[in-house]
Each structure stands twice: as C-alpha cells, then as structure tokens.
Amino acid sequence: KAGVTQTPRYLIKTRGQQVTLSCSPISGHRSVSWYQQTPGQGLQFLFEYFSETQRNKGNFPGRFSGRQFSNSRSEMNVSTLELGDSALYLCASSWGQGGSNEQFFGPGTRLTVL
C-alpha cells in the first residue's frame, strides 16, 4: 500500500506570494491533518480534515487555509507569505478521527520564503 505523498517536495517563494501544497493520504484513510515544523517552534498542528470538513484548527492566522476533496486528498494554502512561514509542512493521514488513531506522515514539503 502506498504511503502518504506530498507535492511538491521543495518550494521557494517570495514574501507576499501565495502557495498551495498537496497531500494524498493512504488509500482508505479519511482523515488528513497538517503540521508545521520549524526549528524554533517545533511541530505545531495546523488543521484536520475529515469527510471534506475542517474538524479542528490550530492557533494559526487566517492566511492558512485548507480543504479536502471527496477522494480524501487535501490541499493547504498560505496567502500573503511571510518570512516566518518558511518551514517543513507535514501532512498526516489516519483511518478515522480521534487521538487514538495512528497518524501516518508524508515526507513533507519544504517551503522557503525569501
């Protein structure tokens, strides 16, 4: 069974631009979560989608948004990029909602904002 895939793997943008990252979960998984990883803040939860609905959201500004499609694939969008948005963005999928469900992580998208 294929793992979680994320595209692109690397991205370079300039301040003020917007970016869209894509995540394809493991087949059969219906929950997709996004995390931001930076050296200073570590791993922080962005949001979770289940059945095309955002179920939970972390403490991030409205510039960060996402969506989930009927095939469970998910995208996240960051508008008006800031230097501080440079990070590794990780997507994780799980079969169901709830903290007991094992989350499987993709390799991440490395975003650099210049």
* φ/ψ of residue 19, rounded to 5: -145, 150
Residues 85-104 touching other proteins, rule: CB under 8 A, are 90, 92, 97-100, 102-104
Residues 59-88 touching other proteins, rule: CB under 8 A, are none
Looking at beta carbons only, is 19 or 49 nearer to other proteins? 49
Say how far apart CA 91 and CA 109 lie, in whole Å.
9
**Of positions 42, 53, 62, 70, contacts other proteins by CB under 8 A:** 42
**Of positions 22, 58, 67, 86, contacts other proteins by CB under 8 A:** 58
Looking at beta carbons only, is 79 or 88 nearer to other proteins? 88
Q: Would you tell me which residues interact with other proteins (CB under 8 A)?
A: 4, 33, 35, 42-45, 48, 55-56, 58, 90, 92, 97-100, 102-108
